[in-house]
Structure 1
């Protein structure tokens, strides 16, 4: 049994990995929905998409059997790191992220030039912070089946 946070930049393959993990019988939660996240205004007036802390607290506290794979990349996720058994950063080069974002159909984020610029900015500024706090980093350029097998191994399967 393990509680695994899968984090990383937009386009790295978090949702794709979750889909395959779910098909393999694992409990999965994609936090990029209104159920798990909400918009807030930061002190500088900019918007931020953060976890609904009570919902995440209840999810993690209520999980008792099997593995739970949670995916997301939020500014407040670090508050929950002690409740996870592993924090896994999926990483890939900028060119891979931009190609994946351009090709995906299930998520419109990253199609506009300013969003692509934001992805590159986050890759340079946010990913190093994630790397510094992750328990593991996986190369998301590997086939998704390999990434999922590595995630399962980290969960004790």
Structure 2
């Protein structure tokens, strides 16, 4: 019974990899919904989209293999519940091209959002890299990336 977190910046393919794994019969959860995440107000007045601690604890305490995708500031609080933390990473031009082409998520279409993504790539991805147990080049073909992630539960 293994739990795998798939994390990375917008456009790395977290949701797409989950879709492939689900089609292969695996249990998957994309945490970028109100069921798993919530907006909180930080002390400085800004807001952050974080995991709902109670929901994530309940999810991760369930038996069985599970692939979870997300990139939240509080995910580190749950790292001890995962057998692997997979960082999907790709060059900025790959991320921006994918985001421009996707039709299922409006984030990243506006110039200020694209600038934010580049800022996160520079500032947040190194932090994710520190906590990752596995790093995968997400610019590889989707099936190669999904195969590599799937191998982590065998």
TM-score, normalised via structure 1 length = 0.97
Q: How does 1:1-157 map to 2 (within 5 A)?
A: 1-62=1-62, 64-65=63-64, 67-156=65-154
Give, in whole Å, the separation in 2 of the partners of 1:89 and 1:79: 16
Give, in whole Å, the separation in 1 of the partners of 2:140 and 2:47: 33
Number of equivalent positions? 154
Give, in whole Å, the separation in 1 of the partners of 2:145 and 2:153: 13
Give, in whole Å, the separation in 1 of the partners of 2:43 and 2:95: 30
Corresponding residue SS for 1:128: helix
Give, in whole Å, the separation in 2 of the partners of 1:122 and 1:44: 19
Corresponding residue SS for 2:72: coil
Give, in whole Å, the separation in 1 of the partners of 2:71 and 2:91: 17
TM-score, normalised via structure 2 length = 0.98
**How far is 1:45 from its partner?**
1.1
Give, in whole Å, the separation in 2 of the partners of 1:97 and 1:148: 17
Which 4+ runs in 1 deviate beyond 2 A?
A: none
Give, in whole Å, the separation in 2 of the partners of 1:41 and 1:58: 23
**How far is 1:145 from its partner?**
0.4
Structure 2 residues not aligned, in runs of 5+: none
Structure 1 residues not aligned, in runs of 5+: none
**How far is 1:127 from its partner?**
0.1
**How far is 1:16 from its partner?**
0.3
